[in-house]
Amino acid sequence: MAGAFFSLCVAGTHSGVGKTTVALGLMAALRERGLVVQPFKCGPDYIDAGHHGGICGRASRNLDSWMMGENGVRESYARAVQDADGALVEGVMGLFDGASPTSSAGSTAHIAELLELPVLLVIDARGMARSIAAMAQGYAAFMPALKFAGVIANNVGSSRHARILADALTAAGGPPLLGALPRDKHWELPERHLGLIAAPERNVRKEWFRDLGHGLADHLDIDGLLQASRSLRPAARPLQAKDRGRVRLGIARDAAFHFYYEDNLDLLRGLGAELVEFSPLADAALPEKLDGLYLGGGFPEMFARQLQDNTAMRHAIAAFARQGGNIFAECGGFMYLCRSLTDAVGKEWRMCGLFETATRMHSRRVRLGYVRAATVADGPFGPANTMLRGHEFHWSSLVEDKRKWNPVFEVRDAEGGNPRAAGIRQGNIWASYIHLHFASNPQACRSWLSHLGETQG
């Protein structure tokens, strides 16, 4: 290990303030110094986490106190940092924004408090002078248990502007200014309807990340950050795999399907599953001797032509289902199992046809938020009314009336509210728009693997 262990949480005053740019640049700069950086992303975001992995060379973990619970967050963090020089956690939305307007659950602040992470607050300082001190002081005082390493001012106009901001913070006795970033369009990552362009698609050159790291290092006090973020490495209880390989689970993973919580995959492996990846875009056949399929979310709408043209894979999945194969699908995977997908310009593309319904993309988001999901019937996750937590974020919907189908879940949002039906249950196929986090109910994951082992022999 190179030096003392460090931990840092990059947070923003609000979404779009530049925290992802700062987090990615810091990861690149620290990697350039030869440090092994374990990345994390607060909240249910998959896309930022994919970029983290491209820079750090190791899977980024999602930390979400609402879905995982406090112990789940601590355990995931502790296991992941054991062989790293430090941890860098990127926040979600504004520092205090989470599942509820009246509590810290699910927020970046809650993660920082649970893990005792020093917070690096990113503020958009465009057109701002002394007001930066009031903003920084307000954020620092709102939740006194948090420790602030300092402030990064983004969109700074000049070196004189940076000095004004630094003097204002110093005079107010608030968190110090540890960096002032100029406006630079070369540091911006392109976005679309679900956020940033995903790492498997964008194929960002390593040189771009390196240049971002060099650019930020020129404007940040890296040594000061490392000094302010020195921490103790937490002890960890490893996941011990039992009966390894007793279930072979096919995992759809390519540019179209790659939304998986890494801790979900770790739990599956820890419970003995052998995860076998395949590509619905490129492969002509499923891997051999599978006990089940897990089709995660992603962007099937962006690859609809390729998915339609790969008739061999669509037929292979349909044949697997006809032969009694177990399939669980989430969001994009759910869309792939339907009869067709109509994209944003109205073009209809054939999908697997396991459900005699279709999905259609819309110009506006259909649903976003946390959900409490209760199974409607006995099935792979256990008896009816098995409770799990998850998240929905999609711009498509079913074309036909969903009330004609057997639902998978009865769901409520994070604050409760009226229940609604979600998903389609048809024989051994369970699918919905919900991204489940198995840390919310590990027993449901155990039941799933037991179900696969029993039904496939």
Known catalytic residues? 331
Q: What is the Cα–Cα distance from 256 to 194, expressed in whole angstroms? A: 13
Type and span of the H or E element at 416: strand 416-422
| Dihedrals phi, psi of 455, to nearest 5 degrees | -80, -25
Task: Give yes or no for a contact between 369 and 362, defined as CB atoms under 8 angstroms apart.
Answer: no
- Of 374, 375, 343, the residue nearest 361 (C-alpha): 343
Task: Please give the C-alpha separations between residue 116 and each of 3, 138, 275, 434, in angstroms, as whole numbers.
Answer: 20, 20, 34, 31
Q: Locate tokens 């037991």: which residue?
A: 450
β-bridge mates for residue 145, sequence order: none
Residue in 69, 137, 58 with CA at minimum distance from that of residue 387: 69
What single string gives the DSSP state of each residue in 27-43? HHHHHHTT--EEEEEES
DSSP 379: B
Tokens for 157, please give them. 């106009």
